[in-house]
Amino acid sequence: MRHVLAIDQGTTSTRAVVFDEARRPVAQASQEFPQSYPAPGWVEHDPLDLWSTAAATARAAIEQAGLHAGDIAALGLTNQRETTLLWDRASGKPLYPAIVWQDRRTAPACRALAAAGHEAAVTARTGLLLDPYFSATKLAWLLDNVEGARARAARGELAFGTVDSWLLWNLTGGKVHATDATNAARTMLYDIHAGEWSAELCALFDIPEAVLPEVRDCADNFGETRADLFGRPIPILGVAGDQQAAAMGQACFAPGMVKSTYGTGCFALLNTGETPVASRNRLLTTVAARLNGRTTYALEGSIFIAGAVVQWLRDGLGLVRRAEETQPLAEAADPESGVVLVPAFTGLGAPYWAPDCRGAIFGLTRNSGPAELARAALESVGFQTRDLLEAMQADWPEAGEAVLRVDGGMSASDWTMQFLADITGAPVDRAEVLETTALGAAWLAGHRAGLYPGPEEAMAAWARDRRFAPTMGDKTRAARYAAWKRAVAAAMAASGADQPA
């Protein structure tokens, strides 16, 4: 039993990775699943797709590694956060599609709560802002819009969960209804200071506490898998939301360390240690980890559209057939074109938090073509990351000019990472293992199982693939970023979105 299995359930695909005792990936399998957009601003998944792809990829990864369930010391689970599910405790059947973190249907409810003066109290307890991104208003919508759901929830017949809880329920055959502190912290129902569900917040959002899962440490006993899934039970010993798992996979255990993961969206986390830092720049204060009952915190900036902008170039515009084609296309673009793309397809995240903003393209000329659009799309990720880093440094000057550790699929693009270093003016270190989200989940489970070392040893063993150093001149960097800020202001104005304070 010298291997660990990690399940990484993401927004567009599910991946399972088997790691050996040196935390090296030895086999992996992945499956995409469809997204549903039933109305403007609505995004849904079929909950059964999430479960079936998790089970199938886990089996496939074990088989590809030439192993059996008896060779797996532990299973770690990481997941897309905030996505909200509601299911029947008796049958295990979902009552409605999963409402995805990108979904904006509850924006009016969030505005009403903010107008009533509740945002300060919500932020004080949760570190979050009143935004449809988080789970609480999604859950309230389900209870109000699924026939009979509210009455059944009050009777204790229904279970709520983010994706980790849904998968745990299915992995254990309905024996475990639990979550970890990092996922709980993204629901807008969890008091990150007290380390428990908040009765006051449940009352504010009209959520019966009977539907909530038990909150456990990230490295903890979450039960074991059903024997029929893999041939014999596997202990489930680690759970964390995907961005916190990526931070642990990047060994960002010390205060001041910062990582940025580029998947469907982009999420930057700055470790602030055991002290939660209240943001003055509309970042989120969140739980980085809870290990052995001790909570560490982070400042987080969330970008809704990163890798998804490449999917848009491929699927929406048909400019490329494969994501890899965007880099040579961007390299062929006129560097003086001045085209700026604001990819607010599902609103703008941090530090703007403008759910009503919509995407826009500026600076088009007769010579603008696919290459210029591809370049602007990739550059938009760098511009948005700089927005986050500037807000983090303003909130917590102790961070200084930190090196940015990057991972995720989009970080494989050398061109994109070089632009990121150029526009931020900071070194960018790409991890040797790009699948750091799965690695973080594996570390949690393997550490709990006694197979993997603790945080200090993990920090010492972290390996860099490549460092990207800034080469852009200060004057050019300032001009390019100023053009981006003007484009964001114009996009918000054109959408009628509120301008940030």
**DSSP code at position 130:** S
What does the pLDDT read at residue 324?
Answer: 80
- The Cα–Cα gap between 286 and 241 comes to 11
What does pLDDT average to over the chain? 91
The least confident of 122-136, 267-281, 324-338, 459-473 is 324-338
Answer yes or no: is pLDDT of 499 > 60: no
C-alpha separations of 194 from 26, 213, 253 in Å = 40, 17, 22
Domain count, the chain: 1
Answer yes or no: is pLDDT of 444 > 90: yes
What does the pLDDT read at residue 323?
Answer: 81
Does residue 74 fall inside a structural domain?
yes
What does the pLDDT read at residue 401?
Answer: 65
Does residue 47 fall inside a structural domain?
yes
CATH code at position 172: 3.30.420.40
What does the pLDDT read at residue 347?
Answer: 85
What does the pLDDT read at residue 348?
Answer: 86
How does pLDDT run across 26-44, given as a tens digit for each residue? 999 999 999 999 998 899 9
How does pLDDT run across 93-120, given as a tens digit for each residue? 999 999 999 898 999 999 999 999 999 9
How does pLDDT run across 332-351, given as a tens digit for each residue? 888 888 899 999 988 888 88
- Nearest Cα to 84, choosing from 102, 94, 98, 104? 98
Answer yes or no: is pLDDT of 185 > 50: yes
Of the pLDDT bands very low, low, confident and very high (cuts 50, 70, 90), residue 199 is very high
Q: What average pLDDT score do residues 408-430 get? A: 90
The DSSP annotation for 62-120 comes to: HHHTT--GGGEEEEEEEE-SS-BEEEETTT--BSS-EE-TT--TTHHHHHHHHHTT-HH
Of the pLDDT bands very low, low, confident and very high (cuts 50, 70, 90), residue 289 is very high
Q: Which two tokens stand for residue 261?
A: 């993961």
What does the pLDDT read at residue 40?
Answer: 86
How does pLDDT run across 453-462, given as a tens digit for each residue? 888 888 888 8
Does residue 229 fall inside a structural domain?
yes
Task: Report percent pLDDT > 70 for the chain.
Answer: 98
- Nearest Cα to 178, choosing from 170, 189, 191, 169? 169
What does the pLDDT read at residue 113?
Answer: 95
How does pLDDT run across 123-153, given as a tens digit for each residue? 999 999 898 989 999 999 999 999 999 999 9
Q: What is the CA radius of gyration of the chain?
A: 22
What does the pLDDT read at residue 400?
Answer: 59
Beta bridge partners of 161: 85
Query: What's the length of the chain?
Result: 501
Does residue 33 fall inside a structural domain?
yes
Peptide bond connecting 38 to the previous residue in cis, omega within 30 degrees of 0:
no
Q: What average pLDDT score do residues 267-285 get? A: 90
- Provide the H-helix boundaries in 298-428: 307-311, 326-331, 370-395, 414-424
Answer yes or no: is pLDDT of 317 > 50: yes
Does residue 273 fall inside a structural domain?
no
What does the pLDDT read at residue 350?
Answer: 81
Does residue 220 fall inside a structural domain?
yes
How does pLDDT run across 361-389, given as a tens digit for each residue? 999 998 888 899 999 999 999 999 999 88
- Provide the H-helix boundaries in 127-162: 135-145, 149-154
Highest mean pLDDT among 33-37, 235-239, 345-349, 406-410: 235-239
Domain with 53 in it? 3-242
What does the pLDDT read at residue 501?
Answer: 47
Q: What average pLDDT score do residues 217-229 get? A: 95
